[in-house]
Amino acid sequence: MIDPESARSLWFPIAAGTDLAARHVFHARLLGRELAVWRADDGHPNAWENRCLHRGVRLTIGINDGAELVCRYHGWRYANRTAECTYIPAHPADAPARTVCNTRYPLIERHGLLWCAEAPGPATSLPELPDELSLTMRAIPVAAPLAAVRTALIELGAVHDGKQLHGAIGEVLYLLQPVDASRTVIRGLLRPAADRSRDERTDRAATANATAYGAADEALLLEHDERLERLRRAIEADPARRHDPDDWPVVAPLVAASLATMPEPGAEGRAAPLRLRVGSMVRTADGSVLEIDLLPLDADAHLPGATPGAHIDLHLPNGLVRQYSLANAPGQTDRYRIGVLREPVSTGGSAWLFERLRTGDVLAASVPRNGFALRRDAVDTLLIAGGIGITALASMTMTLQRGGHAYRLCYLARSAEHFALMDRLAPLGDALECLSGLDAAASRAVIAERLGPYREAHHVYVCGPTGLIGCVRELAAELGWPDEAVHFEHFGNAAPLDTRGAFQVRLARSGLNLTVPDGQTLLQTLREHGVPVPSSCEQGACGTCRVAVLDGQPDHRDVYLNAAERKRGDCLMSCVSRASSAALTLDL
Amino acid sequence: MIAAVQTPPVDCAAATARPATDPVAQALWHPLCAMETLHQDGALSTRLMDEPLRVSIAGGRAVVQAPQRDGATLPAVVRFGYVWTRPDGVDDPHSGLFQIPEYDEPDRRNVHAATVGVRTSAPRAVENFLDMGHFPFVHTGVLGAEPHTEVREYEVALNEAGTEVLATRCRFHQPQAAAGAAQGMLVEYVYRVPHPYCSVLYKSCPSDTSRLDVIALFLQPVGQERVRAHALVSVIDDDSSDLAIRMFQQSIFAQDKPILENQRPVRLPLDPRAETPIRADRSAIVYRRWLSALGLTYGCLPAPA
């Protein structure tokens, strides 16, 4: 008998390294549980629960695109390493909720095998095996419980060490993988044939090509393979060894309670749970831009994934909180790349980063948020970047490029020396158009031409100085582009924060009646009364603190909403907006 | 080795047999076969809710016999071209089958398009029929195509009597909505779920813009994890042959089948925390709540109390 509960803390081989062929998803089983095992192009092997979180379809029938695993049913994409869902095609305008994350199981690659422990305990470790065992035998599946296979191996002469479920006969070490209550896989490791010189073997190991063995090794593998086949037939022919015990129960992981219902607005506040280490800092664009790599504290750790258009809040040691768009490649979780423009009249953010920041410094940061999400359902996407506005758009173009979508990137800068992030943009080729030194009229003419009259399912994204965004929005409106096809993100709100005049708010869900006094923002009042609202820029530019309005007339004052959204009056930015009517009713 | 001692947690594979005595499901009319098939073959052996049944024709009427009940007969009605029966044996004319008024319109072509065996539960198959989000990924180039993947907001509600789920204003971009259409367009659907294991779809009719084509899916729960899916197509179409209509429906079913057979658990989980719904799944959420309210368990994993 094997106790499946205590076995869940042990390490078992579940696949050979060669089973994880490029862009393949391997179906593995351990202790009754199904696993989707796949290797990304960066070499990292993943072992996940074999179910898409959405509708339970096996991920082993999904698509390994090299960086993400894509579900076959609705195209949900899950990132290498973190298993976070990065994209939900049914709602292309929304960034997925951060907590949509598949269940991962610990996986280690050693001796040409992939070892998995469902819930490794502190006292369990991988079995210590001699390094010379470098030949991996073909896996032999046996329709019999583990105890029966183990007994048969011992009868054949395998010596087992009493701790792990493995044993050796001569030059072969046998390892057992309990698939479920009635099935077991025998895996074997061999020393390479003795007639080969040590130097030759070292060369062979250096090429790390497990399949490139010589004729003598092949004969050895065949001999042992035949021996195991005979054993398998003998076990399966013996009715006493083939009894069908009860199935092992497998607990399906539940999704987080917050995900079990339809998405609601988050309530995380201005939290900074991440700690990031400053890696390389490079000055580009004639010294006006600082490109910074922010790394996890632990070199092997991975950061929460970022969708294209996402930004993080950086909490600077001088007390300022600033938002920076991420120029990350799709699926990149080993670092966040940001670009900081040196502002001639800095309010303290860019000056601090340019003058004070050093490689190795640690900064607190929020998890990535996205108020500028990229749709991937466009027939064609036009991206217009002005200056440092390229950061968010660089991430978008890399995503569109990888997905094979049609797009054009028009990048405007002051002079030919003022282009940043060129290492990320160079591979875009003809899709990238760099324009420098144009005056306002010339920029306007170029933008009008690139936009052209609106065609269905075309989208434009613009990020850059306020003037550029205004120009693109104005031209797009003239050319018949509807508001929902024009996406923009401001760096900040040029209008100073104005908190004059008190007004009343009624909170429909919590039943509170509050007064926002003269001199205070709505967001501050809400927080004082224990109503948590997430926020980021607190200037009405990023959209994080958006709140639904049920009744009353908001006085918007933000730069996030478009004209149609303002006119509807069904939401406001709680960090800057006030009331034109005497009172507002909010969906809080 | 230590002997296994454990409390039974939630079973993902749902292998533990639940007794197939769901009084709610037993009191429903279930389809068994198309009359057309019965006329061809004279008689047919099939299964319904794990019970073998024999369907035959006697005196021009369909007869359903239950060999495990000493050959007793079960009630039989013929509706929409299919033979239906009730496993509880109650032949109550007042608790009849739902209506599809369009079926009886004189100028309609009613085609029995397919009967396909699928290793899934009846509620999983209903949810798949209601789902538009999979069109670009599963029915690529036919019912949908990337990059047009968005599921727009739609209306869904349970009727006042609590007998039917209705989803309206369901719109989806289809690459070739009608034969001969040169480019893609938004197609509008209406879905009815008038029976826990049946759904009726209405879509715009290419030959008459004032009327709607009907595609109905009737699931025969052979077991908790096995169905026969019967498809009825009721269209105003003088051009397409029966064969062309069947080929189209069967190719769509063939694309859904491998997806449905790879869903785990096979039974529909009614625990809200088992899966992750998005706004596009509102019809499925209403459907699952309806099943819970009905107390129907056959083909489902009921939510923990």
CATH number at residue A70: 2.102.10.10
Cα gap A506→A548, rounded to integer Å: 12
Residues of A in contact with B11 (CB under 8 A): 249-250
Q: Would the pLDDT of A584 be above 90?
A: yes
Q: Is the pLDDT of residue A104 over 80?
A: yes
Q: Is residue A260 part of a domain?
A: no
| Last residue in a domain, options A65, A100, A124 | A124
A156 in any annotated domain: yes
Looking at the structure, tell me whether residues A199 and A230 fall in a common domain: yes
pLDDT of A197: 47
CB distance A62 to A37 below 8 Å:
no
Residues A6 and A25 in one domain: yes
Higher pLDDT, B33 or B186: B33
Say yes or no: domain B99-301 is CATH 3.20.20.70.
no
Q: Is the preceding peptide bond at A296 cis, omega within 30 degrees of 0? A: no
Give me the CATH code for the B23-97 domain, please.
2.20.25.680
User: What pLDDT is stored for residue B182 in this prediction?
Assistant: 60
Asked if residue B102 has pLDDT above 90, the reply is yes
Q: What is the mean predicted confidence (pLDDT) over A250-262? A: 77
Residue B18 confidence (pLDDT): 39
Per the CB < 8 Å rule, is B138 touching A379?
A: no
Specify if A418 maps to a domain: yes
pLDDT at residue A176 is higher than 80: yes
| pTM of the entire predicted model | 0.74
Is the Cβ pair B262, A89 closer than 8 Å? no
Q: Is B2 within 8 Å of chain A by CB?
A: yes
Task: Give contacts of A2 with chain B, Cβ < 8 Å.
Answer: 1, 4
Provide the percentage of residues in chain B whose pLDDT is more than 90.
74
A383: pLDDT strictly greater than 80: yes
- SS3 for A58? coil
pLDDT for A169 beyond 80: no
Q: Is residue A520 part of a domain?
A: yes
Residue A197 in domain:
yes
Q: Is the pLDDT of residue B2 over 60?
A: no
> Does residue A361 surpass a pLDDT of 80?
no
Q: Are A451 and A478 in contact (CB under 8 A)?
A: no
A234 lies in a domain? yes
In a domain, A497, yes or no: no
Same domain as A139, residue A59? no
**Domain boundary residue among A124, A139, A163?**
A124
Are the beta carbons of B170 and B156 closer than 8 angstroms? no
- Chain B residues touching residue A60 (CB < 8 angstroms): 262
On whether both A93 and A115 belong to a single domain, the answer is yes
Q: Is the pLDDT of residue A203 over 60?
A: no
Is residue B59 over pLDDT 90?
no
Whether A386 has a pLDDT exceeding 80, the answer reads yes
Q: What is the average pLDDT value for chain A, to the nearest integer?
A: 86
Is A251 in contact with B262 (Cβ distance < 8 A)? no
Q: Which of A6, A10, A73 to substitute to test the interface with B, most B CBs within 10 Å?
A: A73
In a domain, A259, yes or no: no
Give the containing element (helix H, strand E) for A30: strand A25-30
Q: Is B147 on the interface with A (CB under 8 A)?
A: yes
pLDDT at A268: 40
The CATH 3.90.380.10 portion of chain B extends over 99-301
pLDDT at residue B7, rounded to an integer? 35
In this prediction, residue A359 carries a pLDDT of 83
With a cut of 80, say whether residue A539 has pLDDT above it. Answer: yes
The answer to whether residues A402 and A336 touch, using CB atoms and an 8 Å cutoff, is no
Phi-psi region of B81 (alpha: psi -120 to 50; beta: other; left: phi over 0): left
* Digit-coded pLDDT (tens) for B212-221: 999 999 999 9
- Least Cα distance to B201 among A584, B192, B84 occurs for B192
Evaluate if residue A398 carries a pLDDT over 90.
Answer: yes
Helix residue ranges, H only, A85-128: none
Residues A189 and A47 occupy one common structural domain: no
Per-residue pLDDT band at A207 (split at 50, 70, 90): very low
Domain match, A384 and A483 both: yes
Domain containing residue A184: 127-248
* CATH code assigned at A515: 3.10.20.30
Report CA-CA distances (Å) from A337 to A324, A327, A383: 9, 5, 19
Q: Residues A333, A481: one domain?
A: yes
In this prediction, residue B270 carries a pLDDT of: 95
Is residue A259 over pLDDT 80? no
A290 plus A432 within the same structural domain = yes
Window from B25-29, B47-51, B272-276 with minimum mean pLDDT: B272-276
- Asked if A453 and A324 sit in the same domain, the reply is yes
At A137 the pLDDT is 92
Mean pLDDT over B264-275 rounds to 94
Q: Chain A closest CA to B209's CA: distance in Å?
A: 23
Q: In the predicted model, what is the mean pLDDT of chain B? A: 89
Q: A216, A248, A280 — which closes off a domain?
A: A248
User: How many CA atoms lie within 13 Å of A303's alpha carbon, on the beta-carbon side?
Assistant: 29
- The strand pairing partners of A460, in sequence order, are A382, A486
Q: Are residues A370 and A392 in the same domain?
A: yes
Residue of A nearest to B260 (CA): A57
- Across A51-65, A192-206, A416-430, the highest mean pLDDT is recorded for A51-65
The CATH 2.20.25.680 domain(s) of chain B lie at 23-97
Domain at A463, CATH number: 2.40.30.10
Share of chain B above pLDDT 70, in %: 90
Rounded percentage of chain A residues whose pLDDT exceeds 90: 50
Q: Are residues A206 and A300 in the same domain?
A: no
User: Which residues of chain A have a CB within 8 Å of the CB of B146?
Assistant: 75, 89, 377
> How far, in Å, are A95, A302, A306, A461, B230 from residue A311 at the CA level?
12, 17, 8, 15, 50
Q: Determine, for residues B264 and A32 on separate chains, whether the beta-carbon distance falls below 8 Å.
A: no
Q: What is the pLDDT of residue A129?
A: 82
Nearest to A255 among B3, B9, B276 (CB): B276
The secondary structure of chain B in percent helix, strand, coil, rounded to multiples of 5, reads 25, 35, 40
Query: What is the least distance, in Å, from the CA of B284 to any CA of chain A?
Result: 11
pLDDT in tens, A208-227: 444 456 788 888 889 889 98
CA distance A473 to A458: 15
- H or E, element range at A211: none
Number of domains in chain A: 4
**B contact test, residue of A30, A57, A74, A250 with most B CBs within 10 A:** A74
| A23 and A166 both lie in a single domain | no
> If you average pLDDT over residues B145-164, what whole number do you get?
89
